[in-house]
Amino acid sequence: AQKITQTQPGMFVQEKEAVTLDCTYDTSDQSYGLFWYKQPSSGEMIFLIYQGSYDEQNATEGRYSLNFQKARKSANLVISASQLGDSAMYFCAMREGLIQGAQKLVFGQGTRLTINP
């Protein structure tokens, strides 16, 4: 069965510093997709970044990058130059099947990130 593990329940970081949020996954599939979502205190789920299992390069989206280490089954999120607005819960998620198919995402428990001024 698929599993996502986020080992950091909470993190505190100074504004403007970079932060890495850990995510490890377990799957027997060769084809899968990895996602990071942000959930601010208002509650909505905001898509941040995606990495396909066959993508050779690490995904980047603005200040977000995904450190994908396939052999270690890790997909850590890196946020550069953190801002106060980055304070939120962050969820790592995995989807089996690379392209089509049901979007049955399996989510981790989340990491609560707090950015201090």
Interface positions with other proteins (CB under 8 A): 4, 33, 35, 37, 42-47, 50, 52, 91, 93, 98-100, 102-110
Three-state secondary structure call for residue 17: coil
Closer CB to other proteins, 9 or 117, in the complex: 9
Closer to other proteins at the Cβ: 17 or 50?
50
Comparing C-alpha atoms, which of 3, 15, 14 is closest to residue 75?
3
Smaller CB separation from other proteins, 24 or 52: 52
d(CA 64, CA 86): 11
Q: How far is the CB of 107 from other proteins (least distance, A)?
A: 3
**Residue with smaller CB distance to other proteins, 10 or 83:** 10
Question: Residue ranges of the alpha helices (H) in the chain?
Answer: none
Query: In whole angstroms, how close is the CB of 88 to other proteins at the nearest point?
Result: 14
CB of 11 to other proteins, least distance (A): 16
Q: What is d(CA 38, CA 53) in angstroms, rounded to the nearest whole number?
A: 21
By the 10 Å C-beta count (0-12 exposed, 13-18 middle, 19+ buried), 89 is classed as middle
